[in-house]
Amino acid sequence: MHYYDEHPGRARADVPVRPVPEPAPAPPSSLRRDPTTGEWILMAPHRRRRSATGPHCPLCPDTPGAAAEIPGGAYDVAVFDNRFPAMGGSGTFGASAVLADSAVPLGAADGLGLLADLPAPGRCEVIAYSDDHHTPLARLPRARVRTVIEAWADRTRELNRLDGVAQVVCFENRGAEVGASLDHPHGQIYAYPWVPDRFARMQDQARRARLHGVDCVFCAVLDTEERAGSRIVTRSAHWSAFVPFAARWPFEVHLYARRHVPDLAALTEEERADLAGVYRSVLRRFETVAERPLPYMAVWVQAPAREDRELGHLRAQVFSDHWGTGAVKRMAAGELGAGAFVSETDPERAAEALRRAGATA
């Protein structure tokens, strides 16, 4: 359990705690490789039994009559191990064994490497943004958003140091419509033993651009968007938020650090303070751009823990598959099966709507 207090020395309330019942033992997660694509899939069937919204929220403070995940009464921000982790198998192996697509793990089930099935080390943590059950991150005070950023940065730094960790990802699903199983505002932090496929493709693009004389493809994208201006949503001294040129989702914002910096842990105090206001502003626009707050997904793209860190450029992606109440972008067979995404949005008009939404945020 990691507490992040806004005021050092905060005393923990001495609350009698009834132990939270442990889930029944489950087989550890495993990693299986699709031999036709080289992609690694986390197999974690035990997650079907994970905590969901019920009469007693597991992220609200403990009381004498209701046990919760976070002991000690009121808190500011808390991070703890997920009790139903997607990763965390008992086996260990180096990240390089996963990163090499051509590697044939010893002891593969069929002896040929086609059925590669490995233990899934890694870490899955939950971050609770506040002990307030009803206030989302977008509506918390700026100081609390700053505390959340400090927690992300600290956990990124610490998890990157662990053997076998290849990529740390901070993310949030806000709303049951996009997969959140708990109403209480929270996010998650995953430490993967390999660089997930989408992030690996981004790194490949960065390497390719460098071979053609572009030091950082992400810096180039940021410069292009700021010059164009038509897709900019908001901008500050250290951050720039825009709807991407090739936006996939009805509402999608990419938030870039204006300085080339690898991850949250590398930000200066001034950059973190500035981020608290800009990130909250972006999230509030998702609350006000439609007739009702949009469910959203948010993910921080950081440099890998070890290899080619200089290619990484810190940025967040916040997006919603909803246009508004009842209007949803559904993924079709060609998109899910072939990976050929069909966008139904107009990025420039979406940016204009999000800019207007800022007047009420």
**Number of C-beta neighbours around residue 150 at 10 A:** 18
CB 96 within 8 A of CB 170: no
Active-site residue identified among 184, 186, 238, 322? 186
Buried residues in 194-207 as b, exposed as e (16+ CB within 10 A): bbbeebbebbeebe
Q: Is 8 exposed, middle or buried (0-12, 13-18, 19+ CB in 10 A)?
A: exposed
Residue 315, beta-bridge partner list: 256, 301
Question: Angle, nearest 10°, between helix axes 217-228 and 197-211?
Answer: 90
Retrieve residue 284's tokens.
Answer: 């509030």
CB 127 within 8 A of CB 144: no
Tell me how long the chain is: 361
Distance CA 300, CA 310 (A): 17
The reply to whether 7 belongs to the active site is no
- What residues act catalytically? 186
